[in-house]
Structure 1
């Protein structure tokens, strides 16, 4: 059953509609999602670029590898030191790349 049963219609000028559509496009949402977000008092964020998703994939891969190291250490009773150090270095490089891409002034 639908939870959103209230249908709201309103009019806009062509320039207002153009501005709305431009803002909606930046977020990757549709108009309804965008307007509901504003009604909830939240500011919609722009959809991240492809580099963000690539970095999140890298972070996921590092997390999986660290989890496998932890599981192996739990079973065997010791840590695979070379593999751990390799993943720790990979994590440090990842964090520096994220900082450079998203946090450092251009």
Structure 2
């Protein structure tokens, strides 16, 4: 069954329509989704640039190399497991924080938690 059962008509002038088109394209979502995000108090973020994805890919490659080096070092018996695990954890945290900063939209206020989750 369809979740959104209420159809609405919104009238905009040329300037407003152009602005809505531009902003939704910058975020990378449909106009409808963009308006829903605003309605729910979400601050949409622009799509990340190609540089962001290239940097993320390079960091993932570094992480894979670290894992391969660790496998060899572990097999030969000369690895400091705790230091290795701390560095991998830091790399993963940087990747996660980078993704959060660039991709995930922000909530305008915390009132949505009350509405959405009853907190």
TM-score range, shorter chain: 0.5 to 0.7
Q: Which residue of 2 aligns with 1:64?
A: 64
Q: Which residue of 2 aligns with 1:25?
A: 25
Q: How many residues align?
A: 82
Question: Which gives a bigger RCO, structure 1 or 2 (Cα 8 Å, sep 6+)?
Answer: 2
Give the TM-score, by structure 1 length: 0.62
Which 5+ residue runs of structure 1 have no aligned equivalent? 85-90, 92-97, 99-106
Residues 40/73 of structure 1: CA separation in 2 closer, same or farther (3 Å cut): farther
After TM superposition, the structure 1 = structure 2 runs for residues 1-106 of structure 1, keeping only pairs within 5 Å, are 1-79=1-79
- RMSD (CA atoms): 2.5
Residues 19/68 of structure 1: CA separation in 2 closer, same or farther (3 Å cut): same
Give the TM-score, by structure 2 length: 0.56
